[in-house]
Amino acid sequence: MARVIRARPLTADAFRAYGDVLETEGAFRLINEGRCERYHDRARLEFGGDGRAGISLFHAEPRALPCTVAMLERHPEGSQAFIPMSESPWLVVVAPDEAGRPGTPEAFLPQPGQAINLLRKVWHGVLTPLAAPGLFAVVDRIGASANLEEHHLEAPVVVDV
């Protein structure tokens, strides 16, 4: 029987080893004559020696919970930020590395207004919106060399609330 992983609310503390939660918490600068808060430089970005930053859009098919996760992937050469372009729910699945393979996955449910930046080499599930429109801006490495490792789990996990 598949292991069930319970998704929990996304918080910066719980997520720190995997990446950054981009949200309007903590210190900000007031700009534009006081009309705008700037939460400055919140992501630990990496693009590799021969890479550069790029912005792409990902448009993904919504899934429903419970949801089976059979594969995790990671990017050895760069970080990857996912910025939702709506307030719709989505799911984040990550796992610690254990000797080059993913360990037990963890699942998080972002709130509206939260984006994430995955650190380089962090195992993660594919982009999983839980409702339309499934549209995200992705800031990641653009480069010629390979930047994807996939790992098919021996025992797929089921993520539920």
Q: By CB under 8 A, is residue 127 in contact with its own copies?
A: yes
What's the token pair of residue 147?
């930047």
Alpha-carbon distance of 72 to 90, in angstroms, equals 17
Is there a contact between 120 and 75 (Cβ–Cβ < 8 Å)?
Answer: yes
Q: By CB under 8 A, is residue 37 in contact with its own copies?
A: yes
Is there a contact between 50 and 144 (Cβ–Cβ < 8 Å)?
Answer: yes
Alpha-carbon distance of 45 to 38, in angstroms, equals 18
- Using the contact rule CB under 8 A, the part of the chain among 10-18, 31-39, 101-109, 152-160 near its own copies is 31-39
Q: By CB under 8 A, is residue 83 in contact with its own copies?
A: yes
Is-cis flag, bond preceding 66, omega within 30?
yes
Q: By CB under 8 A, is residue 69 in contact with its own copies?
A: no
**Nearer to its own copies among residue 7 and residue 72 (C-beta):** 72
Encoded one letter per residue, x for contact with its own copies by CB under 8 A and - for no contact, window 99-118 reads: -------------xx-x-x-
62-82 as b/e: b if 16+ CB within 10 A:
ebeeebebeebebbebbbbbb
- Applying CB under 8 A, which of residues 6, 40, 64, 100 lies at the interface with its own copies? 40
Q: By CB under 8 A, is residue 18 in contact with its own copies?
A: no
Q: By CB under 8 A, is residue 86 in contact with its own copies?
A: yes
Q: Which residues bind its own copies (CB under 8 A)?
A: 22-24, 28, 31-33, 35-43, 45, 47, 52-61, 81, 83-87, 112-113, 115, 117, 126-127, 133, 135, 137-139, 142
